[in-house]
């Protein structure tokens, strides 16, 4: 039913202090790609007292959450991405299996499996991704193979985080065009401010095929700035984004922007509606890493069941509310969503 493609990463999360952030020039709440100056960060973070390893990568997190919300049948979601033939790769395979996601990784030996350092301070998280193997995904070596493309064709709903634009925009376009031509649903995420800033060209090439666009308030503001919308009103940004050119006219684009503890903003027809999130005591928030991915996962769970927008958002809010009470993008054995 559901197809996802993205960067499979092993999350290495640890609670750090402001000195650690300053040392590596990190903002408290951000997502960036690792540069040479961050090499030492990965060595240093694993020496911290409490380090947790979790299967991560934005798209993979979301399809896992969707599968967790569904429970049965297993393997409703298929996931493509690139890993290395190493221990971290084995962990990712095992974790995908445990989550009942049908992961088909492109495995190569040139680069090790990608990692993402999640530097937690209070309820902020600064993510530094070292893509490594994830960056080696090759359309012609994996997506184009008949046995793999058949899996793509089976799906009804597609989700790819904007992060994958840095790796294989041609793979995204192939999937997006397939969805558009067959009147299926293609979803994408703005993912991080740097995507709109530095990968605007590939992003805008895919945009005409995007049926549902996700993002948070910071990403939405950066996107608006890059496109010259000349507004920082999130409702206006949502509306203008909805009205960008679109290939498949049978489906009006839906734009959904989350804002942390503030209302989620969504386009409903030509209107923009606010949806309040679930209340949570500040003391119950353990770590907001994965909250956005979880929201999308919950949303996709309701979407593949063809539920209303209100239900999709309600499911997204529920999933995010569960995830922020735990370290990393992890979840209890069963959901209690009604």
Which residues are designated catalytic?
Answer: 293
Cα separation, 213 vs 215, whole angstroms: 7
Can you read off the two tokens belonging to residue 199? Answer: 């990968």
Q: How far is CA 12 from the centre of its chain?
A: 17
**In the structure, how many helices (H) and strands (E) does the chain have?**
12, 14
Which residues make Cβ contacts (< 8 Å) with residue 297, sequence separation at least 6?
61, 62, 63, 64, 65, 66, 68, 69, 316, 319
Can you read off the two tokens belonging to residue 249? Answer: 């006219």
Classify residue 98 by burial, with Cβ atoms within 10 Å: 0-12, 13-18, 19+: exposed
Per-position DSSP letters for 162-226, written without gaps between them:
GGGGGT-HHHHHHHHHHHHHTT-EEEEE--SHHHHHHSHHHHHHHGGG-SEEEEEHHHHHHHHHH
- Are 152 and 178 a contacting pair, CB within 8 Å? yes
Q: How far is CA 50 from the centre of its chain?
A: 25
Cα separation, 225 vs 86, whole angstroms: 41
- Are 210 and 191 a contacting pair, CB within 8 Å? no
Which segments of the chain does DSSP mark as H helices, in order?
18-23, 39-45, 58-70, 87-98, 146-154, 169-181, 193-198, 200-206, 217-226, 234-242, 291-304, 309-323
């Amino acid at each position: 039913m559901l197809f996802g493609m993205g960067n499979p990463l092993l999350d290495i999360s640890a609670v750090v202090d402001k000195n650690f952030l300053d040392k590596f020039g990190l903002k408290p709440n951000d997502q960036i790609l690792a540069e040479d100056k961050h090499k030492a960060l990965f060595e240093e973070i694993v020496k911290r007292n409490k380090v947790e390893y979790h299967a991560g990568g934005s798209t993979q997190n979301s399809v896992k959450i969707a599968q967790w919300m569904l429970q049965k049948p297993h393997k409703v979601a298929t996931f493509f991405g690139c890993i290395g033939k190493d221990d971290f790769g084995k962990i990712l395979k095992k974790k995908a299996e445990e989550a009942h996601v049908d992961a088909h990784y492109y495995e190569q030996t040139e680069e090790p499996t990608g990692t993402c350092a999640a530097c937690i301070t209070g309820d902020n998280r600064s993510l530094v991704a070292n893509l490594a193997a994830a960056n080696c995904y090759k359309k012609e070596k994996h997506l184009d193979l008949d046995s793999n493309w058949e899996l793509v064709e089976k799906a009804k709903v597609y989700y790819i985080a904007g992060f994958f634009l840095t790796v294989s925009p041609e793979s995204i376009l192939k999937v997006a065009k397939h969805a558009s031509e067959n009147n299926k649903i293609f979803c994408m995420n703005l993912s991080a401010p740097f995507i709109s800033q530095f990968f605007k060209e590939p992003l805008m090439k895919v945009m005409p095929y995007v049926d549902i666009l996700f993002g948070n308030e910071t990403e939405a503001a950066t996107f608006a700035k890059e496109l010259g919308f000349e507004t920082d009103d999130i409702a206006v940004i949502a509306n203008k984004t909805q009205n960008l050119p679109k290939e498949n006219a049978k489906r009006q684009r839906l734009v959904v922007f989350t804002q942390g503890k503030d209302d989620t903003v969504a386009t409903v027809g030509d209107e923009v509606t606010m949806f309040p999130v679930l209340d949570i005591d500040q003391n119950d928030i353990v770590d907001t890493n994965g909250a956005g991915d979880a929201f999308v996962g919950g949303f996709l769970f309701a979407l593949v069941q063809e539920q209303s927008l209100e239900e999709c958002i309600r499911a997204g809010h529920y999933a995010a509310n569960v995830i922020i009470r735990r370290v990393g993008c992890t979840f209890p054995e069963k959901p209690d969503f009604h």
